[in-house]
Structure 1
């Protein structure tokens, strides 16, 4: 089973497939957040642009439709490293942009009546032992507040919680609903979205899709973990992140768990975890731990790693023993892109008209905006 909670039982009605040679001002490769938001912002800047998006499967098929649903201000690389490599001013501009992006996503959704289960409740990193508490205590800054045992437990009733770091800069949402709503908005704005349309070649001012030549002034490659090796060689690798979700919690169970503000949360353990209480009152928890595939191969089997899914279910009940007996209704997963420098990228060559964006290491809900 690789059935995402975010998509649920929604049936995919495929958009048109490319069937002839065409010409566009901008050709975007990939129908996830990076490609969709690129089209959105370009249309805001220049509404007359003739834009096409080419998606190999369907909009939201990849990580954009399967992720943990965190719109956060986190960045995969440490603040100290960013300041050392890029300078304080660049770092401060990045922090400001990431923080503002969380609110902007919510405002855009609200103004367009997109039902994406958006809730800006902040985010908690909690400790359940002294070693974890010591680690998170070193991460205090002007964006994070330390919560003692009582304060942390008032927010989230995790067993043996000893404290936590809380930031207001995070929102929980349904990522598949966001991709779907954004794609429908772009449909209405005249952006042509082609599904089941695989881009085989990207060259200067031209892409080849399903064997058809597409001329363009600018191409944007936004394929994240599904990027072909011929385009990035060994500069990026896919890593797998898996999730599980329970049946809806009862009113009594929600009271026992607390977190009525829907703050996202994770344990300060060495294994990366992430969780939220969803808009329909389920506990959704994700984590990493699937073995790396030699030569950075993509593997659908890695998306349904029963060992890892079972470990996530056990961890959820270890956090919340008060949910003993609850049913887990969803198991799913997929790859995210990890660059060798642990930093995302945005490249554009004006001469060739070729651009590329990605490498979010799992933080793409906000970084792609």
Structure 2
């Protein structure tokens, strides 16, 4: 029996519910399937993928032009992928390298993109309120903790880095250990960083709410329909073909399922465990009386939230990538991943060791070769796409959807001039190189984390610096 199982108060982690898409759906129930595509159809706009990117795009297109005939095609059900499985961080964290974006539109372009991300957090909250979507949204901000000297150095570097891109003193606030403990008591924490630009959300409630709204607006969502090929003005499926002047690929981590797209965005896996509700005695020891989101400065980083029903959901990387860009089996994750995440949860919050783990699951996110998100529409072919959010997509989907809508409608706006629009990224290496590369990257990061803890290094391990150079992060 592993240490993780022993520390779980005798709970057999191999027996807990694993998969089932996500706990978010277990707590609300899986939705009924909508009908599949009933044969060949014509439309003004065809959107492939009923996750948040596709649904937000449909929402803003319909708001701007109600007479548009919009068809959304989905293999499973709306919100089946990362949109209904993520950690619930409605954050302004930017997916990608600031210098990488700056090459396109310079420093000011990146500042504009960062500002747009912060505004998108409030936009999602405003739409949820206006459309009566109850998604447990609370904007209490985000706390990152540093638990050794190297992480503390990165915390200070991170705050200074944000300042170079226009962040104000209230956007990223340093927290001493005492100030951190007033918010959340994390074992061995030395310092923290707080930003107000983040809200907790129940992901399944949000994506199901948006899907219902766009349907009421007149958007047609066909589920149980597998798109096999996307070509100009054409989306071919196992149920028929949709012809439309504009076809938008909004598949994020599932992009590799489309013919010819296997090497465009790598499907990276991320896993989560969630506890049973915390007893009052445990809550008294860890604090966390607000709805702040929680992250850290490890290289193999974690992310967590305190749910509306007083559980802790904590996630991180398990097996980061499956050979050949394969994706998961309805959210089931590996046993050693469950044990590793449980051990991390107990290491950060010893008081939680006697609280059973209720469920585990995983999902995939899209990673471009340069780790930078992209929004694009080729006017000559009518083909568009958005994604590559690298795990920071819950807010980014909204900004991407609004940007795609403006591009489709030929609008020249501040959004269409942002530096992530129209970027071209080289493909990932063929197998087995990309499998070997990703496995090596995370092995190096885990090794670097261990060394930083065990040796209490004063700065980032050289091993992590080598991994960053190799991967281009």
TM-score range, shorter chain: over 0.9
Query: Structure 1: how far apart are the matches of 2:187 and 2:127?
Result: 37
2:345 corresponding residue in structure 1: 316
Look up the match of 1:267. Answer: 296
Deviation per residue, 1:304-347 (Å, 9 max, x gap): 11101111111111111122210110100011111001011111
Q: Does 1:358 align with 2:387?
A: yes
CA distance in structure 2 between the aligned counterparts of 1:350 and 1:208, rounded to whole angstroms: 20
1:244 CA drift (Å)? 0.3
State how far apart, in whole Å, the 2-side matches of 1:299 and 1:112 are.
Answer: 32
* Structure 1 residues 150-179: Cα deviation after superposition (integer angstroms, max 9, x where no partner): 001111111121111111111110111111
Q: 2: CA distance between counterparts of 1:238 and 1:319? A: 28
Which residue of 2 is the match for residue 104 of structure 1?
Answer: 123
- After superposition, give the CA deviation of every residue in 1:166-194 in whole Å (9 maximum; x if it has no partner): 11111110111111000111111111000
Determine the structure 2 residue equivalent to 1:43: 62
1:326 has 2:355 as partner = yes
Answer yes or no: is 1:234 the counterpart of 2:263.
yes
Change (3 A) 1:145 1:78: farther
- Is 1:7 aligned to residue 51 of structure 2? no
Find the counterpart in structure 1 of residue 378 from structure 2. 349
Q: Going by fraction, where is strand more abundant, 1 or 2?
A: 1
Structure 2 counterpart SS, 1:91: helix
Question: How far is the alpha carbon of 1:85 from its aligned partner?
Answer: 4.7
Residue pair 2:95, 2:393 contacting (<8 A) in 1 also: no
Q: Residues 218-266 of structure 1: CA distance to partner in whole angstroms, max 9, x if unpaired?
A: 1110011111253434232111100000011133333322222211111
Deviation at 1:291, TM superposition (A): 4.4
Partners of 2:151 and 2:242 lie apart in 1 by 53
Between the aligned partners of 2:364 and 2:99, the Cα distance in structure 1 is 27
Higher helix residue share: 2
Whether the 8 Å CA contact 1:240–1:303 is kept in 2: the answer is no
Structure 2 unmatched ranges of 5 or more: 1-17, 399-473
In 2, Cα distance between equivalents of 1:272 and 1:229:
30
Q: Secondary structure at the match of 1:245?
A: strand
Ranges in structure 1 where 5+ consecutive residues have no aligned partner = none
Post-superposition shift, 1:294? Answer: 2.6
Aligned to 1:190: 218
How far apart are the structure 1 equivalents of 2:38 and 2:176? 60
Residue 33 of structure 1, CA deviation: 0.7
The equivalent of 2:209 in structure 1 is: 181
In the alignment, what sits opposite 1:160? 188
TM-score by length of 1: 0.96
* Contact residue 225 and residue 238 of structure 1 kept, 8 A: yes
Count of matched residue positions in the alignment of Structure 1 and Structure 2: 369
> Is the CA contact 2:187–2:347 (under 8 Å) kept in the aligned structure 1?
yes
- Show the 5 A alignment for 1:57-136: 57-136=76-155
- 3-state SS, counterpart of residue 23 of structure 2: coil
Deviation at 1:301, TM superposition (A): 9.1
